[in-house]
């Protein structure tokens, strides 16, 4: 890999991460400099494109015979492609991930964080009040969202569009830089330091994202034990029911009445599942697959939460191969699985299963392939080292 694109939410640290990466790798950084190159391509003053930079397109401009934004996006596209052709470059924002398409030598990174975290960070960084930082955050978020949706569609910000999505509210920028540096170099440090906290990793997955082999491979790499179906077997034993009965409610969405009806299997399933996960987390060295592990363990600082994704064509192909079904059947299975897991998550926890804010890291197995294991292991170990040091400092 010799091209990195950085997509970022305002205040998530994208600009700072890009600068650190450029210094670490010795690569060229094109942030606002990309506008200058785009202006040269289109032979227009820099100021003309500055007025349009990551801004929503007005209705008046859309109706003009020669809309100015056409020069803006055309210039950006050519400038980004020329920079990528040279290589060893980091491109920040402005839809450069979408402008470059699926270059085989590009690593597409996105940085996100919760709004509250971003607002507090920018208030401290810029020396303004929280109210002022919030107003700016809302304005820029809205403007960038309209810009992205207009030029690249509603799915442009989806995690499946990127190699990796970091939640910088949970992962330190130093670790983000270290992870991306190791990823593009293909060189992963073997030992990061002493880790005294229990190792706990939760893994959420999309059907067909290649997750069947991910958990066991990670477990072998990190010296941990996987709990997937084993959770169901232990639950069935505690509840005094068969594994088949547990499977009927496993990750199944239930109504409020079923969920909270005293003595119902759904209620007991939920309560025992949470107990089991916390007990296993206390014991340590475990990978817990699915079933809302990231929510059950959300308040445990030693828990590292990962979600694996892939593009829809790759998921369809994998389901066809692994389940020996035709394309339409594979699509139906994926749709049913996504809907079921989303409903289970939203009805049980009141949160969005697909949101990257629910995790430390979202990895695209379709794009990264075997390197995803290296990335997750490296990021998780860095997290456990930090938690260990923080506990020692306290």
Q: Domain residues of the chain, as ranges?
A: 3-177, 196-360
Q: Report the alpha-carbon angle 47-134-97, nearest 5.
A: 50
Domains 3-177 and 196-360 share a fold: yes
Closest to 109 measured CA to CA, from 137, 90, 122: 90
52-103 per-position pLDDT tens digit: 665 555 555 554 545 567 777 788 888 888 888 898 999 988 888 988 888 8
In whole angstroms, what is the distance from residue 341 CA to residue 290 CA?
9
Q: Which residues contact 30 (CB under 8 A, 6 or more apart)?
A: 37, 79, 83, 89, 90, 91, 92
Do 304 and 201 form a contact (C-beta atoms < 8 A)? Answer: yes
Q: Radius of gyration over alpha carbons of the chain, in Å?
A: 23
Domain made up of 196-360: CATH architecture: 3-Layer(aba) Sandwich (3.40)
The C-alpha torsion from 90 through 96 and 102 to 107, rounded to 10°, is 30
Identify which of 159, 128, 188 has the alpha carbon closest to the alpha carbon of residue 370: 188
Q: What share of the chain is helix, strand, coil (3-state, %, to 5)?
A: 60, 10, 30
Tell me the mean pLDDT in the region 6-27. 93
Which of these ranges, 20-29, 183-192, 323-332, 346-355, has the smallest mean pLDDT?
183-192
Confidence of residue 256 (pLDDT cuts 50, 70, 90): very low
The token duo for 60 is 């008046």
What is the dotted CATH code of the domain comprising 3-177? 3.40.50.300
Q: Residue 178: how many CA atoms within 13 Å on its side-chain side?
A: 17
Q: What is the pLDDT of residues 99-133, one digit of tens each?
A: 888 888 899 999 999 999 999 999 998 999 999 99
Question: Could you tell me the pLDDT band of residue 257, with boundaries at 50, 70 and 90?
Answer: very low
Q: CA-CA distance, 288 to 215, in Å (whole number)?
A: 9
């Amino acid at each position: 890999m010799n091209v990195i694109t950085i997509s970022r939410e305002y205040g998530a640290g994208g600009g700072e991460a890009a600068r650190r990466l450029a210094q670490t790798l010795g690569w060229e950084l094109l942030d606002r400099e990309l506008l200058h190159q785009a202006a040269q391509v289109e032979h227009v003053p820099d100021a003309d494109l500055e007025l349009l930079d990551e801004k929503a397109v007005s209705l008046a401009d859309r109706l003009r015979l020669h809309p100015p934004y056409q020069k803006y996006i055309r210039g950006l596209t050519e400038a980004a492609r020329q920079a990528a052709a040279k290589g060893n470059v980091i491109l920040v924002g402005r839809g450069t991930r979408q402008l470059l398409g699926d270059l085989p030598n590009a690593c597409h990174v996105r940085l996100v964080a919760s709004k509250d975290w971003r607002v507090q960070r920018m208030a401290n960084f810029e020396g303004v009040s929280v109210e002022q930082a919030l107003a700016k955050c809302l304005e820029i978020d809205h403007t960038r969202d309209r810009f992205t949706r207009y030029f690249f569609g509603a799915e442009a910000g989806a995690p499946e569009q990127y190699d990796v999505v970091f939640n910088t509210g949970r992962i330190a920028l130093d670790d983000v830089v270290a992870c991306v540096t190791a990823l593009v170099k293909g060189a992963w440090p073997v030992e990061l330091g002493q880790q005294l906290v229990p190792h706990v990793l939760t893994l959420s997955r999309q059907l067909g994202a290649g997750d069947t082999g991910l958990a066991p491979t990670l477990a072998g790499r990190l010296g941990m034990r996987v709990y997937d179906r084993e959770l169901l077997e232990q639950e069935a034993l505690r509840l005094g029911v068969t594994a088949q009965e547990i499977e009927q409610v496993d990750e199944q969405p239930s109504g409020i009445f079923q969920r909270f009806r005293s003595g119902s299997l759904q209620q007991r399933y939920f309560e025992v599942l949470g107990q089991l996960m916390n007990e296993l987390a206390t014991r340590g060295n475990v990978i817990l697959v699915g079933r809302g592990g990231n929510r059950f363990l959300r308040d445990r600082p030693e828990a590292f939460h990962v979600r694996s994704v892939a593009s829809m064509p790759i998921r369809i192909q994998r389901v066809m191969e692994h389940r020996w079904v035709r394309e339409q059947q594979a699509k139906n299975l994926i749709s049913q699985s996504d809907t079921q897991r989303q409903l289970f998550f939203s009805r049980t926890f009141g949160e969005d299963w697909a949101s990257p804010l629910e995790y430390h890291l979202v990895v695209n197995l379709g794009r990264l392939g075997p390197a995803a294991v290296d990335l997750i292991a490296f990021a998780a170990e860095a997290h456990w080292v930090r938690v260990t040091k923080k506990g020692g400092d306290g």
